[in-house]
Amino acid sequence: MSETIERQDEIRAAVLAAKNVVRRFGGLVAVNDVSFDVWPGEILGLIGPNGAGKTTMFDLLAGSILPTSGDIFLNGVQVSGEAAHRRIERGLGRTFQIPRPLPNLTLIENVMLAAQGQAGEKLLANFLAPRRVAAEEKAGEKKALELLELVALTHLAHEPARVLSGGQRKLLELSRVMMADPAIILLDEPAAGVNASLLEVIIDRIRDINARGITFLLIEHNIDMVTRLCHRVLVMASGQLLCEGTADEVARDPRVIGAYLGGAA
Ligand SMILES: Nc1ncnc2c1ncn2[C@@H]1O[C@H](COP(=O)(O)OP(=O)(O)OP(=O)(O)O)[C@@H](O)[C@H]1O
């Protein structure tokens, strides 16, 4: 089998795949010819020193920015030019390093909002089919409560989101993303700014959600978390994919040690 046909088969089997992706910002190549696959059901880590291109890669995968060249595939479908909301509809969820829930709405309202379409659409539907809208709202509330339970926030369901700690906001964000029934979730630094005991809750919840068949790709600087959670790890440095392997394998790789010692230079 030729290399190209093999690569096409891999792309078809992957939940998410990058193929020779390049992203330039003026003269700077933030992501430089990066290719990788995320397999169904895995928890894949993306690590690398500051400025390596990890966040830019997430932005490209999620559709917040478009590649200068190269392609992105979601469940085998080429989505390189598609807007972020289309990729959400196709099963891609994303959390941000600093989640910003609506502070004066309750947790349950914040989670329910994640499932709603355009306000105008909803108003029209309410006018045309009020009973259907009411039934959908009831089902949405039930699902939101189940998801809050999944992330261990049931006791705060009716509190305003402003009372949450940084770590609890990350858990809320995870439940919000789950409202759209994603096939894969991109997690941006789930451990950043989270205290030790809540970190254990976050690790457990990610494992539980993964056990439901949901795939994860996560950027993380906390190597202990990466070692405990990730089945496989990709390492980026200076915009390029340096290597991949288990957390132990990449931690021993002299190229990785060199990249961290030399920073992003
Ligand atoms: N919108 C932008 N305009 C210009 N340069 C950018 C832009 N976004 C990112 N960069 C540059 O691209 C490079 C990669 O940045 P990126 O944020 O992707 O790295 P990172 O690996 O996520 O770093 P960190 O771990 O510090 O978050 C950096 O040199 C950064 O300054």
CATH of region 3-100+181-261? 3.40.50.300
pLDDT of residue 137: 79
The structure tokens listed for 150 are 């999944």
**Ligand 1 pocket residue status of 77, Cβ below 6 Å:** no
Mutate to test the pocket of ligand 1, among 23, 25, 96, 221 (most ligand atoms within 8 A of CB): 25
Tell whether ligand 1 has an atom less than 6 A from the beta carbon of residue 230.
no
Q: Are 55 and 12 in contact (CB under 8 A)?
A: no
The encoded tokens of residue 256 equal 């990785």
Q: Residue 51's pLDDT is what?
A: 94
Please provide the distance, in angstroms rounded to a whole number, between the alpha carbons at the two ends of the chain.
38
- Tell me what pLDDT residue 96 has: 82
What are the residue ranges in the chain where pLDDT is below 50?
118-119, 264-265
23 pocket-lining for ligand 1 (C-beta < 6 Å): no
d(Cα 205, Cα 65) in Å, to the nearest integer?
A: 29
Establish whether residue 32 lines the binding site of ligand 1, counting it when its CB lies within 6 angstroms of any ligand atom: no
Q: Report the separation in Å between the CA atom of 237 and the middle of ligand 1, taken as the mean of its atom positions.
A: 11
- The one-letter amino acid code at 139 reads A
Query: Ligand 1: does its nearest atom lie under 6 Å from the Cβ of 97?
Result: no
Establish how many alpha carbons lie within 13 A of residue 79's alpha carbon, considering only the half-sphere containing its beta carbon: 28
Q: Which residues lie below 8 Å from residue 117, measured CB to CB, with a gap of 6+?
A: none
Dist. CA 208–CA 219, nearest whole Å: 19
CA gap 155, 36 in Å, rounded: 40
Nearest CA to ligand 1 atom 9: 56
Ligand 1 centroid – CA 56 distance (Å): 6
Dist. CA 235 → ligand 1 center (Å): 15
SS (H, E, C) 46-115: EECCCCCCHHHHHHHHHCCCCCCEEEEEECCEECCCCCHHHHHHCCEEECCCCCCCCCCCEHHHHHHHCC
| Alpha carbon distance 51, 180 (integer Å) | 31
The answer to whether 51 and 240 have CB atoms below 8 angstroms apart is no
Instruction: Name the token pair of 115.
Output: 């499932």
pTM recorded for the entire structure: 0.88
Q: What H or E segment, with its residue span, contains residue 129? A: none
Query: Where, residue-wise, is CATH 3.40.50.300 in the chain?
Result: 3-100+181-261
Rounded Cα distance between 105 and 27, Å, is 43
**Hey, is 212 helix, strand or coil?**
coil
Interface TM-score (ipTM) > 0.90: yes
CA atoms lying within 13 Å on the CB side of residue 62:
19
